């Protein structure tokens, strides 16, 4: 009875935490979301995988690696069947999958170290899930790939305990799913797998598992290009200008706290083996490369949390605690999703050209060429416009996307909307877009560029919350 009383707080805390988990600020409003949905719609309409820059007036013939095709088709189907709120169910499913994976990770770590999970570890894992959910969960492929990587890792650790043909097939299936939903994250799976070589336990089943992971990764519409896509993204200088690829804000108390907890667990509680050192150091190095990669530090921290000796445990049996933690988490997530479902959707008009594109559609223009910033072009494409460049990286840095000045579509998009009006006039003269959407920005360079644009083109034909619209084809 005393043991039960000591654990009574855990389900209540977990339930309240997950029930209060609000929808992330940019869950519905991330710029990439719109072109993910539109690309999926194109694939559903045509029955073909998109392999070129459809929707672009500058790079139409440039090749596109379909490294997220499965997610895009799923997103288009959800949007068509259930509307925007249907994505709340996707988030719920992925949060549940991630919560289950973290619980199994805790138990795997306890088994490997011959101890039991302290109930506080469930609370820590729940807080880390909440952090990752708020930081990374938007309507983009990582909402699926993050829980997949966690489950892939616990499957790898389980395989190391007891290899089997069933686990070989599961590893191949996870590899194939990951490659089709988010090819850019796939390389993390073989890295985690090959690290097990350091444990010197490889058998014939390990060789089969290696083949299954490789074959599963190649079974996607883009083949090897899909699973190597991250090399293109990470090596290109334009990537550094995307905020989520910026440096980790180590002065932020939340990031600093998670980092210090990881370092403490890595030094004090990680098993003293070459494998565990390589794993903990590798995750640390990966997580510190960019803001978006920091999620991996948070997600692997539960594996290194301290465990307690079973002989000295003052708490209820481990299975009972795990079941209570899992059930409380599920109940809390269901309540959180229900509350979000009955609440009105947030408005992101100031950051997305909703009214501006409504005005363009009202002109009767059929698939007009719209010159707009990168961050707005996903919505422009989603709303029927043809664009200069958007969230797909590879077509817009391709030679086929170069202008007479020698700049790629991605470079022109970046420079024009940093205030380079000379490039703006060149784009208008050579590409002849039908409309220009200029954002309202307070930066001096952008305000001066807006002033020069007014002097050159006259007053805008429409002004909305996002910015100004000029009808260049009238």
Render pLDDT for 312-342 as a digit per residue (tens, 0 to 9). Answer: 444 455 677 888 888 999 999 999 999 999 9
pLDDT for position 310: 55
pLDDT of residue 2: 37
Residue 63 sits at the vertex; the CA angle it makes with 58 and 64, to the nearest 5 degrees, is: 100
pTM value is 0.93
Where is 80: in which H helix or E strand?
helix 69-82
pLDDT digits (tens, 9 = 90+) for 377-412: 999 999 999 999 886 777 888 888 888 888 889 889
Residue/partner pairs of 317-320 with CB below 8 Å, 24 or more apart: 318/107, 318/110, 318/116, 318/117, 320/7
Q: How much is the pLDDT for 271?
A: 86
Q: From residue 127, give the alpha-carbon distance in Å to each of 16, 19, 435.
A: 12, 13, 46
Residue 28: predicted pLDDT: 84
Token digits for 137? 């969960």
- Mean per-residue pLDDT for 242-264? 92
pLDDT at 74 exceeding the cut of 50: yes
Instruction: Pull the structure tokens for residue 119.
Output: 């109930």
Yes or no: say if 274 and 282 are a contact pair by the CB < 8 Å rule. no
Higher pLDDT, 304 or 317: 304
pLDDT at 5 over 60: no
Burial, 334: exposed, middle or buried (Cβ in 10 Å; 0-12, 13-18, 19+)?
middle
User: Does residue 3 have a pLDDT over 70?
Assistant: no
**Over 80: is that where the pLDDT of 235 sits?**
no
């Amino acid at each position: 009875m005393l043991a039960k009383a000591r654990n009574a707080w855990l389900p209540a805390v977990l339930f309240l935490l997950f029930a209060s988990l609000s929808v992330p600020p940019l869950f519905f409003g991330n710029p990439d979301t719109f072109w993910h949905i539109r690309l999926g719609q194109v694939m559903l309409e045509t029955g073909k995988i998109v392999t070129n820059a459809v929707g672009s007036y500058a790079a139409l013939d440039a090749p596109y690696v379909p490294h997220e095709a499965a997610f895009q088709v799923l997103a288009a189907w959800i949007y068509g069947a259930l509307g925007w709120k249907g994505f709340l169910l996707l988030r719920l499913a992925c949060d549940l999958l991630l919560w289950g994976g973290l619980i199994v990770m805790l138990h795997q770590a306890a088994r490997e170290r011959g101890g039991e999970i302290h109930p506080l570890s469930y609370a820590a894992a729940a807080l880390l899930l909440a952090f990752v959910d708020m930081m990374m969960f938007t309507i983009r492929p990582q909402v699926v790939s993050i829980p997949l990587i966690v489950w892939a890792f616990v499957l790898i650790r389980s395989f190391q305990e007891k290899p089997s043909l069933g686990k070989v097939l599961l590893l191949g299936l996870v590899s194939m799913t990951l490659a089709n939903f988010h090819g850019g994250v796939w390389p993390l799976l073989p890295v985690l797998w090959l690290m097990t070589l350091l444990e010197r336990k490889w058998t014939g089943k390990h060789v089969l598992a290696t083949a299954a992971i490789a074959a599963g990764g190649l079974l996607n519409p883009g083949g090897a290009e899909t699973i190597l896509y991250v090399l293109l993204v990470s090596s290109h200088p334009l990537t550094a200008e995307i905020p989520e690829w910026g440096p980790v804000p180590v002065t932020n108390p939340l990031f600093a706290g998670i980092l210090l907890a990881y370092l403490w667990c890595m030094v004090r509680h990680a098993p003293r083996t070459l494998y565990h050192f390589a794993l903990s150091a590798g995750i640390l190095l990966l997580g510190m490369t960019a803001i978006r990669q920091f999620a991996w530090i948070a997600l692997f921290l539960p594996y290194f949390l301290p465990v307690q000796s079973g002989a000295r445990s003052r708490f209820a049996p481990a299975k009972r605690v795990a079941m209570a933690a899992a059930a409380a988490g599920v109940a809390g997530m269901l309540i959180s999703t229900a509350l979000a479902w009955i609440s009105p959707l947030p408005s992101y008009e100031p950051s997305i050209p909703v009214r501006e594109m409504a005005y363009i559609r009202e002109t009767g223009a059929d698939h007009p060429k719209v010159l707009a910033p990168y961050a707005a072009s996903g919505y422009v494409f989603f709303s029927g416009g043809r664009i200069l460049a958007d969230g797909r990286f590879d077509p817009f840095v391709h030679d086929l996307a170069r202008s007479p000045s020698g700049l790629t579509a991605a470079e022109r998009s970046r420079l024009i909307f940093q205030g380079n009006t000379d490039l703006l006039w060149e784009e208008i003269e050579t590409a002849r877009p039908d409309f220009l959407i200029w954002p309202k920005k307070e930066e001096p360079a952008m305000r001066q560029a807006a002033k020069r644009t007014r002097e050159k083109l006259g007053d805008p034909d429409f002004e909305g919350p996002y910015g100004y619209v000029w009808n260049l084809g009238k």
